């Protein structure tokens, strides 16, 4: 259940940024989470309530922007959508690829008051 650590990391960032901006609380938080990031969204949503209790995020609306996986084949340069880390290149079936996107795990923006 590493999602709890992730949620606490999000809380820490929100606390830091809110205090830096001399604001009091967060009304909305936007997260960018890639499908290849290793985060289970169900688990994150499950522990979210307990992680944000008594923090600046307690009453914040949470928006998760899911970023699709994209790879580029090292052998034939084909760019393709990835759902799993072990997806082969659809053109040449090679497993050698660089991941262009999908590993994101970011707090994109905070709306504070």
**What DSSP string describes the chain?**
-THHHHHHHHHHHHHHHHHHTT-S-EEEEEEEEETTSS--HHHHHHHHHHHHTTSTTTT-EEEEEEEPEEEEETTT--EEEESSTTPPPTTT----EEEEES--EEEEEEEE-
Rule CB under 8 A: say whether 72 interacts with other proteins: no
Rule CB under 8 A: say whether 42 interacts with other proteins: no
Question: Using the rule CB under 8 A, which residue among 65, 66, 90, 95 binds other proteins?
Answer: 95
Q: Which residues are near other proteins by CB under 8 A?
A: 1-2, 4-13, 15-19, 21, 23-25, 27, 31, 37-38, 50-51, 53-56, 84-86, 88, 95-96, 105-113
């Amino acid at each position: 259940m590493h999602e709890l650590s992730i949620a606490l990391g999000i809380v820490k960032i929100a606390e830091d940024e809110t205090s830096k901006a001399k604001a009091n609380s967060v009304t909305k938080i936007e997260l960018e989470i890639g499908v290849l990031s290793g985060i289970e969204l169900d688990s994150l949503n499950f522990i979210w309530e307990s992680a944000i209790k008594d923090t600046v995020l307690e009453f914040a609306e949470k928006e998760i922007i899911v970023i699709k996986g994209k790879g580029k084949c090292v052998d034939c340069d084909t760019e393709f959508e990835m759902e799993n880390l072990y997806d082969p290149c659809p053109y040449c079936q090679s497993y050698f690829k660089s991941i262009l996107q999908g590993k994101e795990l970011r707090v994109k923006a905070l709306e504070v008051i």
